[in-house]
Amino acid sequence: MKSRHPIATVAVMAAVVLLIGCDSSPKSDPATSAGGSPASTLVGDIKIDGSSTVQPISDAIREGFIKIHPGVKVSVGGEGTGNGFKEFYGKATDISDASRPIKVGEYEKCEAAGVEFVELAIAYDGLTIVVNPQNDWVQSLSIEQLQKIFNGDSAAKKWSDVDPSWPDQEIKIFSPGTGSGTYDYFKEVVAEDDTLRGDMTLNEDDNVLVQGVAGNKFSIGFFGVAYYAQNSEILRAVPVINPEIDEPVLPTSDNIASGKYAPFSRPLFIYVSAESLNRAEVQTFVEFYLENVSTLCAEGKVDYVQLPESIFERTLQNFDAVATGTHFVDAQGQSRKGSFAELFTDKNLNSK
């Protein structure tokens, strides 16, 4: 663990005082936090890229932050978790949005480049399987059926290949690109050591996937629950059978928060460069992020689920101590396996 840079800390304290002094509206609504207060004198550039799933959260935080600090330019990209980490260990960004934990190879490249980071869990998401609303044959899907549809080049070509009672029509599949953390998470859950089929329509832009499924009766796709919630009038979420309770479960907020929407409930992260945290605008932005993200989720201003208090407290402790490293790669360089709550603990923090 490292202590914050004293100069930056003083700067942040000043910024926080200024923020509090400027903020006459409730902190729970960053979009209205500026009120009619004097503008902040904080200046600088903050660059964020990574998960398109996390992007709506970072965009909402950015919107509230720049109203309070108009002198700070914050750019938010959504090129996918994997692409975001490339930018991150290339030192092109300050914060990397991620819809999965950092991988072993990405962690090694950060180490090689001298990029230390603080790993902050911010919310829960439910990876959502969607079909066209005219699809009246799929009422739920099991993991085994998803494997028939998505695994390997010998996967089902027609719906009738999955279930003989379903239409004798070609399955059109829309998937996030291979640089997406959502693609990685889906592959880990559904394909495990196998590969996903290679004939899917891939795109890093979730809105393209939405239009693809909405425009074809025989299509299927997947992405974060926020994109489904924003397009629920033109898509239908498919209940996924939880293998432990053998019941179909929809990705509602309650089901995601409780873990009942299994195995597709997952944590979302931001990875913050420790070097960037020496800059007052970055520290202030991340503090603002953590002050508001759970409320954004709880009030439905973003379509994600707030973390349990016990887990979010861990995030706050990591940030306050500038505790660098990851909880998901062990000291031997191996990826840790297990539930998120079990892995995201102090004893598992691997810091070099």
Domain ranges of the chain: 44-125+266-348, 126-258
What are the structure tokens assigned to 330, written together?
């062990």
DSSP letter string over 120-154?
Answer: EEEEEEE-EEEE-TT--S-S-B-HHHHHHHHBSTT
User: What CATH number labels 126-258?
Assistant: 3.40.190.10
Amino acid at 119: E
Single out the residue of 326, 305, 349 nearest to residue 108, CA to CA.
Answer: 326
191 vs 192, more confident? 191
Q: Are 296 and 305 in contact (CB under 8 A)?
A: no
Please give the Cα distance from 29 to 328 (Å, whole number): 32
Q: What are the CA-CA distances from residue 74 to residues 46, 100, 103, 326 (Å)?
A: 5, 23, 26, 25
Taking the CB of residue 272, how many other CB atoms lie within 10 A of it?
Answer: 27
pLDDT digits (tens, 9 = 90+) for 281-333: 999 999 999 999 999 998 888 889 999 998 999 999 999 999 999 999 999 99
pLDDT at 4 over 50: no
pLDDT for res 153: 84
pLDDT digits (tens, 9 = 90+) for 208-243: 999 999 999 999 999 999 999 999 999 999 999 999
DSSP letter string over 45-87?
Answer: EEEEEE-TTTHHHHHHHHHHHHHH-TTEEEEE--S-HHHHHHH
pLDDT at 205 over 80: yes
Domain 44-125+266-348 has CATH 3.40.190.10: yes
- What's the DSSP call for residue 314? H
- The pLDDT confidence band at residue 134, using thresholds 50, 70 and 90, is very high
Say which range, 37-41, 149-153, 318-322, 332-336, has the weakest mean pLDDT. Answer: 37-41
The reply to whether 44-125+266-348 and 126-258 are identical in fold is yes
Taking the CB of residue 300, how many other CB atoms lie within 10 A of it?
Answer: 10
- The pLDDT confidence band at residue 36, using thresholds 50, 70 and 90, is low
- What's the DSSP call for residue 210? H
pLDDT digits (tens, 9 = 90+) for 103-113: 999 999 999 99
Please give the Cα distance from 221 to 201 (Å, whole number): 9
pTM exceeds 0.95: no
- What's the DSSP call for residue 348? G
Q: Are 98 and 122 in contact (CB under 8 A)?
A: no
What are the structure tokens assigned to 157, written together?
């070509």
Please give the Cα distance from 304 to 69 (Å, whole number): 25
Please give the Cα distance from 241 to 339 (Å, whole number): 19
Proportion of the chain above pLDDT 90, given as a percent: 79
